[in-house]
Structure 1
Amino acid sequence: MSLKPITLWGHTQGPNPWKVAMVLEELEIPYKTIYVASGDVKKEPFTLVNPNGRVPAIEDPNTGITLWESGAIIEYLTEKYDKDNKISFPAGTPEFFETKQWLHFQMSGQGPYFGQAIWFRRHHPEVVPSAQERYKKEVLRVSWVLDNVLKDREYLVGGRCSYADISFVQWYNYFGSATDNDVDLEKEYPNLYAWLEKIKARPAISKTASLQKEAIANETH
């Protein structure tokens, strides 16, 4: 029986909805995207889907499940639909839990620190040098952790690309904004850089990047 398309609620530019889209593309799950303007996320009808008023969220007509928080969505999609473990690992194995570990690090470490670094450099109404410096240091710390781990492995878990690797890609598209473009990612973190380039070259990830560019272009015209 063919699957009904999952509805993905997102922004055209925000990283977290596109993180979910990458997983949907990798697993070849049919989906449709509804883009929510930033000024509308705290209003109905979207708050009926996510009372927290943040994207992404999904509605799965195949199961009747509605979920928000990108990490929870990714875990749901892989555990429900990745029966062949294309980007996940069999339940109960060490790799199954290690993949969750890296996803949680992405959600608790990379996402919040990158987001705050960009906020205090691009959007905060006052210049707060101490906050700018703190979050830039955290962005670099997270990058060091990844670069150091990747010096002796090709991927984070199990010798192959998983949703853990994929989850980090989108925020690194904003690395320059988080660091004032004064850190050379390729030079300073060569293992991290090579890993990111390898993931971006995957057909599903490349397709998602093209879809994002198209969505942004349509929004501005």
Structure 2
Amino acid sequence: MIEVYSWATPNGHKVHIMLEECGLPYRVHAVDIGAGDQFEPDFLAISPNNKIPAIVDSEGPEGKPISLFESGAILLYLAGKTGKLLPAGVSAKYEVLEWLMFQMGGVGPMLGQAHHFRIYAPEKIGYAIDRYTNEAKRLYSVMNKRLAKSKYIGGSEYSIADIAVFPWLRSWKNQGIAWNDYPHLKGWFDEIAARPAVKRGVEVLADRRKPLVDDKARSVLFGERQFRQH
């Protein structure tokens, strides 16, 4: 059994979708990041960066328990554990990995900043909004060009690269995106969204998440509470 410590965010949904696609048994533990659950000692013991998601696999390598944090690392672990969603061939595997790193280093951080300055920041800073909205559009363009010549983000087969990217694009409106500008990416998005495992994955903990409308939650995620932990 895999214990999943998570919340209904793009990074959380990556792991929820992966577990559904792989058919692994798992149990979800809600980590309410607006309430500050991510700072609890038990969670920090498995996720020292106080970020979701994290997992504990009671049947890890050599039959021993293992815990992991960072969504990309978890996707790679689950792919290795099951032999699914990561090609065995060397060239194909590294093609998937470079697009996984593209998501981890670009899509997630940059779209996260677009969300922050467009939606959550208490002060609307024009330069920041323009900077990250334009970067979101650039990243969408990169993916659109990729999918003009490749069936999936990571190559010819559906993989962890697609699973990593997809949840971040579900908030395209908040990122200032118009789908008409990215027809190849939109076609891919619709195909991934229709997968049964993806539908199940994005519903995990979705009923628990609430809009960040109060100052306490904003402080926990973006302010003093976040920074005084380090």
Normalised TM-score (structure 2): 0.84
In structure 1, give the amino acid aligned to 2:15. Answer: V
User: In structure 1, how many angstroms separate the alpha carbons of the residues matched to 2:45 and 2:112?
Assistant: 25
Identify the residue that residue 23 of structure 2 maps to in structure 1.
Answer: 28
The match for 1:159 is: 156
- Secondary structure of the residue aligned to 2:152 is coil
* 2:68 is the alignment partner of 1:67: yes
Contact map agreement 1:18 1:212 (CA 8 A) in 2: no
1:184 corresponds in structure 2 to 178
Unaligned runs of 5+ residues in structure 1 are none
Deviation at 1:49, TM superposition (A): 1.6
> Which letter maps to 1:195?
W
1:138 is displaced (CA, Å) by 0.8
Residue of 131, 139, 142 corresponding to 1:142: 139
C-alpha separation in 1, matches of 2:20 and 2:134: 33
Residue 9 of structure 1 corresponds to 5
Give 3-state SS (helix, strand or coil) of 2:151's partner. coil
**Cα shift at 1:207:** 1.6
Displacement of 1:133 after TM fit?
0.6
Partner residue of 2:114 out of 84, 92, 117: 117
- 2:82 pairs with 1:89: no
Kept after mapping to 1: 8 A contact 2:22/2:82: yes
Contact 1:117 1:136 in 2 (8 A): yes
Distance 1:50 1:157 in 2: 28
Root-mean-square deviation over aligned CA pairs: 1.5
Alignment of 1:211 with 2:212, yes or no, is no
Deviation at 1:158, TM superposition (A): 3.7
* Selected match of 1:131 from 123, 128, 133: 128
Distance, in Å, in 1 between the alignment partners of 2:157 and 2:173 is 27
Compared CA separation, residues 158 and 111, structure 1 to 2 (3 A): closer
1:79 aligned to 2:74?
no
Would the aligned equivalents of 1:114 and 1:171 in 2 still touch at CA under 8 Å?
Answer: yes
In structure 2, what is the equivalent of residue 58 of structure 1? 55
| Contact 2:16/2:202 (8 A) holds in 1 | no
Runs of 4+ in 1 over 2 A off after TM superposition: 209-217
**How many percent of aligned residue pairs carry the same amino acid?**
34
- In structure 1, what residue type is equivalent to 2:118? R
- CA positional deviation for 1:106: 0.4
> Does the CA contact (< 8 Å) of 1:114 and 1:175 recur in 2?
no
Q: C-alpha distance in 2, partners of 1:162/1:75?
A: 11
Q: In structure 2, what is the equivalent of residue 101 of structure 1?
A: 98
The one of the two structures with greater contact order (alpha-carbon pairs below 8 A, sep at least 6) is: 2
Size of the alignment, in residue pairs? 204
CA deviation vs aligned residue, 1:147-184 (integer Å, no higher than 9, x gap)? 011112211234221111121111111111122xxx32
**1:199 Cα deviation from its structure 2 partner:** 1.0
Structure 1 residue 70 displacement after superposition: 0.3
Q: SS of the counterpart of 1:41?
A: helix
Contact 2:13 2:204 survives alignment (8 Å): no
Partner amino acid, structure 2, of 1:24: L
Task: Give the secondary structure class of the aligned counterpart of 1:66.
Answer: strand
With the length of structure 1 as denominator, give the TM-score of the two structures.
0.87
